[in-house]
């Protein structure tokens, strides 16, 4: 039977990020992935000269540990920064037309998007008392603090378009942790933003928006090839058994069953698969996991000649409020965001449909999806021709819906895990759905594991790094020469 320090079940971005941080510290790490390729939903595809993304399209980072991973993994040279044109503005579908969405308080107050009453309500935010409730929905929180117009025209489309959620059901504390934290600490969002700008201006990590040459798949491929990570594809975990000094896990493979012994196990699969795996260990934990619902998202990628698009495409794309579009939640102008997403003289538009707002979209056939997408885009972007390339990506369990008393559920899951030493759950239903969040959560779980015991391999690696720091390789080479 093979033995490893840490076994990771699930080779998506959560599992690979955890594996990278652990392997970097010198532990032996094995990753099981049921599919034949790692990455989970993160897949970049070349089709007719267009580069499309099946899931995450970019990284929006402000965390130093994520910047460290990109740098240390050798990905800095592969980064592609957001093009200047994409920094110009973001749009909102408003009364059948695209309007620039202001991102700063001053511009929001001056914008014609809001009525005078809406602007006055927005300006009153610093004087609104905290509710003291931990179970507010996004709709309740935003309406109370910023007013109904901000909810309908800004926050609802953000929740639906980027998180595939329902603002009326989504937990504010889970979906908007930074905003709710500002209220708890400073009494208002505006006061918190002001204080943070003053106190953290010199120390905060600079916000960086980027992708990679070859798409987000480059990130997955690089992490999967990290020395020290033993990636096993075609391994479907069937059983997890607790032992005296660790764990024994069994997987189904094309060659038959395979069993591995590990000190720690990280289950980095979607919640339903995690529930099935831990049910025999803790039925209450399994029930908590089964209670996490998912929203499906369908992406319709369309490639079209640039001169067949009337809109300047001078921004990232647009979001669509519920009152403006029943099925389409947003549209990203990928060829404006990053280079090499479309052939010369062409543009790539990626439309997002479904989510919690319109779950029925998952059952639409390809023809209906394309018709609905083009029916919406033609008048908004001035399309004068049909697309020359169409690709459809269907994700029936795209994102966890942070609905209901989600924070209470997460706290209950954490409490159950404390009773099962050596078992860790790391997936996008805990800690955030963005790639940034997944890389940061991988760092956090690695630190927890490294702090649980004395790891001989880690101590040996630390001694080696100490020697290197005293006698740098380049200095030694210089001395020899």
Are 117 and 126 in contact, with CB atoms under 8 Å apart?
no
Correct CATH for 2-42+56-80+212-292+402-456 of 3.40.50.300, 3.40.50.1820, 3.50.50.60, 1.20.1250.20? 3.50.50.60
Mean pLDDT confidence for 282-303? 97
Q: Is the confidence at residue 473, as pLDDT, over 60? A: no
Predicted pLDDT of residue 200: 56
Alpha-carbon distance 111 to 192, whole Å? Answer: 23
Q: Which residue has the higher pLDDT, 318 or 85?
A: 318
Burial class (CB in 10 A: 0-12, 13-18, 19+), 281: middle
Mean pLDDT confidence for 302-310? 98
Alpha-carbon distance 122 to 148, whole Å? Answer: 10
| CA distances to 63, 107, 190, 193 from 199, in Å | 17, 24, 14, 10
Alpha-carbon distance 141 to 87, whole Å? Answer: 29
| CA distances to 159, 160, 404, 442 from 180, in Å | 15, 19, 16, 24
Predicted pLDDT of residue 112: 82
Residue 320's nearest CA partner among 293, 365, 359, 354 is: 354
**What's the topology of domain 102-200?**
protoporphyrinogen ix oxidase, domain 3 (1.10.3110)
CA-CA-CA-CA torsion for 429, 432, 437, 443, nearest 10 degrees? -50
Alpha-carbon distance 102 to 92, whole Å? Answer: 10
Q: Is the confidence at residue 319, as pLDDT, over 60? A: yes
User: Mean of the per-residue pLDDT values for the chain?
Assistant: 89
Predicted pLDDT of residue 470: 31
Q: Which CATH superfamily is domain 294-400 in?
A: Protoporphyrinogen oxidase, mitochondrial; domain 2 (3.90.660.20)
CA–centroid distance for 219 within its chain: 13
Mean pLDDT confidence for 324-344? 95
Least confident of 258-272, 422-436, 450-464: 450-464
Alpha-carbon distance 101 to 91, whole Å? Answer: 5
How many residues appear in the chain? 481
Predicted pLDDT of residue 463: 39
Helix (H) and strand (E) counts in the chain: 19, 19
Q: Is the confidence at residue 474, as pLDDT, over 50? A: no
Least confident of 36-40, 162-166, 323-327, 460-464: 460-464
Q: Which residue has the higher pLDDT, 146 or 203?
A: 146
Instruction: Give per-residue pLDDT as tens, 189-244.
Output: 877 777 766 665 444 567 899 999 999 999 999 999 999 999 999 999 999 999 98
Are 284 and 302 in contact, with CB atoms under 8 Å apart?
no
Task: Work out whether strand 97-100 and strand 236-243 pair parallel, antiparallel, or are unpaired.
Answer: unpaired
Predicted pLDDT of residue 476: 24
Instruction: Give per-residue pLDDT as tens, 162-200.
Output: 999 999 999 999 999 888 988 888 888 877 777 766 665
The helix/strand/coil state of 383 is strand
Provide the β-strand partners of residue 251.
Answer: 237, 258
Instruction: Give per-residue pLDDT as tens, 246-256.
Output: 999 999 999 99
| CA distances to 22, 249, 263, 347, 445 from 423, in Å | 15, 12, 9, 46, 11
All CATH 3.90.660.20 domain ranges in the chain, comma separated: 294-400
All CATH 3.50.50.60 domain ranges in the chain, comma separated: 2-42+56-80+212-292+402-456
Q: Is the confidence at residue 327, as pLDDT, over 70? A: yes
């Amino acid at each position: 039977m093979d033995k490893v320090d840490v076994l990771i079940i699930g080779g998506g971005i959560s599992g690979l990020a955890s594996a990278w941080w652990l392997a970097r510290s010198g532990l032996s790490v094995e990753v099981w992935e049921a599919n034949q390729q790692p990455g989970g939903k993160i897949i970049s595809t070349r089709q007719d000269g267009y580069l499309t993304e099946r899931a995450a399209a970019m990284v929006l980072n402000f965390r130093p540990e994520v910047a460290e991973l990109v740098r240390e993994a050798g990905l800095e040279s592969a980064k592609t920064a957001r093009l200047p044109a994409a920094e110009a503005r973001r749009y909102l579908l408003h009364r059948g037309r695209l309007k620039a969405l202001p991102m700063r308080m001053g511009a929001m107050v001056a914008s014609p998007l809001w009525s005078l009453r809406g602007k006055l309500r927005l300006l009153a935010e610093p004087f609104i008392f905290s509710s003291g409730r931990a179970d507010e929905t996004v709709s309740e929180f935003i309406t109370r603090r910023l007013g109904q117009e901000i909810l309908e025209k800004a926050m609802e489309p953000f929740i639906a378009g980027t998180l595939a959620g329902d603002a009326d059901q989504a937990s504010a504390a889970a979906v908007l942790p930074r905003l709710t934290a500002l209220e708890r600490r400073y009494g208002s969002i505006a006061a918190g933003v002001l204080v943070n700008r003053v106190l953290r201006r010199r120390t905060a990590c600079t916000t960086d928006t980027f992708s990679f040459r070859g798409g987000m798949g480059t990130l997955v491929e690089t992490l999967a090839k990290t020395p020290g990570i033993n990636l096993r594809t075609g391994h479907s975990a069937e059983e997890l058994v607790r032992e005296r000094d660790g764990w024994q896990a069994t997987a189904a493979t094309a060659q038959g069953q395979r069993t591995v012994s590990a000190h720690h196990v990280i289950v980095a699969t979607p919640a339903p698969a995690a529930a099935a795996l831990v049910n025999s260990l803790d039925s209450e934990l399994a029930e908590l996991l089964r209670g996490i619902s998912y929203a499906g998202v369908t992406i319709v990628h369309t490639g079209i000649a640039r001169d067949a698009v009337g809109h300047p495409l001078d921004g990232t794309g647009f979001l669509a409020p519920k009152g403006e579009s029943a099925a389409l939640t947003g549209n990203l102008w990928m060829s404006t965001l990053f280079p090499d997403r479309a052939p010369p003289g062409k543009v790539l538009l990626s439309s997002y449909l479904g989510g919690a707002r319109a779950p029925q979209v998952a059952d639409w056939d390809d023809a209906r999806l394309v018709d609905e997408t083009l029916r919406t885009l033609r008048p908004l972007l001035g399309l004068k021709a049909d697309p020359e390339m169409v690709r459809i990506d269907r994700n029936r369990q795209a994102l966890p819906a942070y609905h209901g008393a989600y924070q209470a559920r997460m706290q209950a899951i954490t409490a159950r895990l404390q009773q099962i030493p050596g078992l860790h759950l790391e997936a996008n239903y805990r800690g955030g759905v963005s790639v940034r969040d997944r890389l940061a959560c991988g760092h956090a779980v690695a630190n927890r594991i490294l702090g649980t015991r004395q790891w001989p391999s880690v101590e040996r690696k630390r001694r080696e790094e100490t020697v290197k720091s005293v006698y740098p390789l380049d200095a030694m080479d210089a001395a020899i020469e």
